[in-house]
Amino acid sequence: MVLQDAETVAEAFLVRLRRRGVDRLFVNSGTDFAPIVEAYARRKESGLDLPDVVVCAHENLAVSMAHGSYLGDGRVQAVMLHTSVGTANAVCAVFNAARSRVPVLLAAGRTPIFEHSMLGARDAPIHWAQEMFDQAGMLRELVGWDYELRDGAQVTDVVDRALDVACTEPRGPVYLTLPREVLAAPVFGTDDRPAPAGPTPAHPEPAAVDRLADLLAAAEFPVVVTADAGADLAAVPLLDELCRRFGIAVVEHGTRHVNVPADHPLHAGYAVDAVLADADVLLVLDHDVPWIPGTAGPRPDAVVVQAGPDPHFTRYPVRTHRADLSITACTAALLQALTTAMAQRTSDPARGERLAERVRGWRDRRDQVLAADFENADPITKPVLNAALARVRPADAVVVSEYWGSAELLGSTVPGTFYGTPPAGGLGWGLPAAMGLQMARPEATVIATVGDGAYLFANPAACHQAMAMHDLPVLTIVCTNAHWGAVQGSALRMYPDGHAAGVPDLSPLARLDPSPRYATYAEASGGMGIEVSARADLMPALEKALRTVQEDRRHALVDVHCA
């Protein structure tokens, strides 16, 4: 059937996005958006079903919100950027999405090709300076596919191709440039064919599953190490069952998702180094850096199995972690097949109880931190801040952590309620991602736990303005200590006896003082802001902020001065 109701390529592009299940279009618009602006202006007359526009005042905000929306609902997202300069602003957020395997169609306007004589041709001086020889080259290494729309006759094919590649494992962003003249052109015969069938999940090779099952059944101390298994919410109960039924310990190392409930009896904690000396079979389940080769590693006689959609992380230029067996499969499919195979084998029925007792030590250390005294005059530390949040946080509240929110101390038990910093570590992700997640799950309580450096990188004025514009009652908790902890810590690790270690003051390269009054960013956009510097005020402030986001449905920020 011909898309007779779409008059321009811009309209056909937007209609196809919607019909492929893209409900939101995150945008930071510019002069290249004129045909898009016209398409939305004509919507009342045309009746076209177009994606809902989510206006963002910065490209990092737009892409990171799309990232968070995918975490929230598991559906492919779309962003439209402003030509070359908007793409440049977005690269850091695209890096995060790429390394986190988040499927998002990144569309960007392209500076008009023609200088005259075409609708959409150049009509402002900026159209010469913004043109690049290879606009997509800025992020080609980070996307699975890039292309430029050449003509309206191919708009359906190109949108389908982009979305299909983005959603094929290993998933990730794709990039499509849209010349203004092409968007403005009339549609001739654009079809509305059904969406192509999506790819089925990759299933593991049966012989490899049998070998892995044999290894796990015969092991004395089998351990699963993961950071991202819980990216697929369906995998969480599968991993839970596998480890319970067959006595396998599990370590969440560098946690970025709830991979198993924190109260799992065979949870071995959040530090892989604690088990490497004992584990005789190590199943690395969808984890890019399961240990740091220069400081630790599996024992020589251990068997190491790498498994996941891309078990060797082929987009990383160098990664030499051992693999005695490598299995390519989506996590849920592997866990289902492995559970079936393990049920056909005999393993020591008492192994689970022995391992549970052996790996429980981290729980005692965590309980000591959670028993923090909030009435004394000691400074607020990051562990104390985590303990306070753990006490007031509802079990189903979602925490998006960029810096201080600890998966170990917060103890999430519900799948999809904890998200940690992407492996690329591009700062400024946490707060926008929390906003996108709030948009995807409007009934959820969403809490962003960020450091002051990460908060500044997120363009806070743009973030709070977007919270007000789009009715996003996110609770932001800023741990303010006026320094880059990662910068100072890295220097001290490299030079433990160096000059920086011998100086009592912070390096100037790690300082962020003077600290702004971060609460005023929220207040400037109609939110509530609170500053806390005393322990006794911490719990009441967090409780008040939670009431604000839950009952008043208004965004709130708590600025906590930490030691």
Burial tier of 513 (Cβ tally within 10 Å: 0-12, 13-18, 19+) = exposed
Q: Which amino acid is residue 473, in one-letter code?
A: P
The yes-or-no verdict on residue 191 having pLDDT over 70 is no
Name the DSSP class of 534: S
Percent pLDDT > 70 in the chain is: 99
Instruction: Return the DSSP state at 551.
Output: I
Q: What is the pLDDT of residues 418-434, one digit of tens each?
A: 999 999 999 999 999 99
The C-alpha atoms of residue 68 and residue 444 are separated, in whole angstroms, by 13
Question: Mean pLDDT in the chain?
Answer: 95
- Determine the Cα–Cα distance for residues 534 and 100; give it in Å rounded to an integer: 37
Q: Residue type for 1, please?
A: M
Could you tell me the pLDDT band of residue 190, with boundaries at 50, 70 and 90? Answer: low
Using alpha carbons, select from 181, 176, 170 the residue that is nearest to residue 157. 176
pLDDT number for residue 195: 86
CA dist 431 and 471 (Å) reads: 15
Domain 9-184 coded CATH 3.40.50.970: yes
User: Mean of the pLDDT values across residues 413-422?
Assistant: 97
> CA-to-CA distance for 50 and 18, rounded, in angstroms?
6
Q: What is the mean pLDDT of residues 348-363?
A: 94
**pLDDT at position 135:** 97
Per-residue pLDDT at 1 exceeds 50? no
CATH 3.40.50.1220 intervals, the chain? 206-359
Per-residue pLDDT of 9-37, as tens digits, reads 999 999 999 999 999 999 999 999 999 99
Cα Rg, the chain, nearest whole Å = 25
pLDDT of residue 482: 85
pLDDT-based confidence at 281, cuts 50/70/90?
A: very high
B/e letters for 85-101, b = 16+ CB within 10 Å, e = fewer, are: bbbbbbebbbbbbbbbb
What is the CATH number that goes with domain 206-359?
3.40.50.1220
**What tens digit of pLDDT does each residue of 90-136 get?**
999 999 999 999 999 999 999 999 999 999 999 999 999 999 999 99
pLDDT of residue 224: 98
The yes-or-no verdict on residue 499 having pLDDT over 80 is yes
Q: How far apart are CA 176 and CA 149, in angstroms?
A: 7
Return d(Cα 545, Cα 475) in angstroms, integer. Answer: 7
Residue type, 286: D
Give SS3 for 338.
helix
Helix (H, G, I), strand (E, B) or coil at 116: coil
**pLDDT at site 500:** 85
Q: What's the pLDDT score for residue 3?
A: 45
- Quickly tell me which residue has 């990383």 as its tokens: 316
Q: What is the mean pLDDT of residues 443-451?
A: 98
**The pLDDT of residue 517 is above 80:** yes
The 3 state secondary structure assigned to 405-466 is CCHHHHCCCCCCCEECCCCCCCCCCHHHHHHHHHHHCCCCCEEEEEEHHHHHHCCHHHHHHH
pLDDT in the model for residue 2: 42
Non-local CB neighbours of 399 within 8 Å, separated by 6+ positions: 389, 393, 405, 410, 412, 417, 418, 419, 447, 449
Neighbours of 420 (CB within 10 A): 22
Which two tokens mark 45?
């007359």
Specify the 3-state DSSP secondary structure of 234. Answer: coil
Q: How many residues are listed for the chain in this entry?
A: 563
User: Where in the chain do CATH 3.40.50.970 domains reside?
Assistant: 9-184, 364-561
Residue 145 has pLDDT above 80, yes or no: yes
CATH superfamily, with its number, for domain 364-561: Thiamin diphosphate (ThDP)-binding fold, Pyr/PP domains (3.40.50.970)
Return phi, psi of residue 240, to 5°: -55, -50
Estimate the crossing angle of helix 361-370 against helix 382-392, to 10 degrees.
90
Distance set, CA 333 to CA 232, 235, 256 (Å):
11, 8, 20
Looking at residues 370-382, what average pLDDT do you find? 94
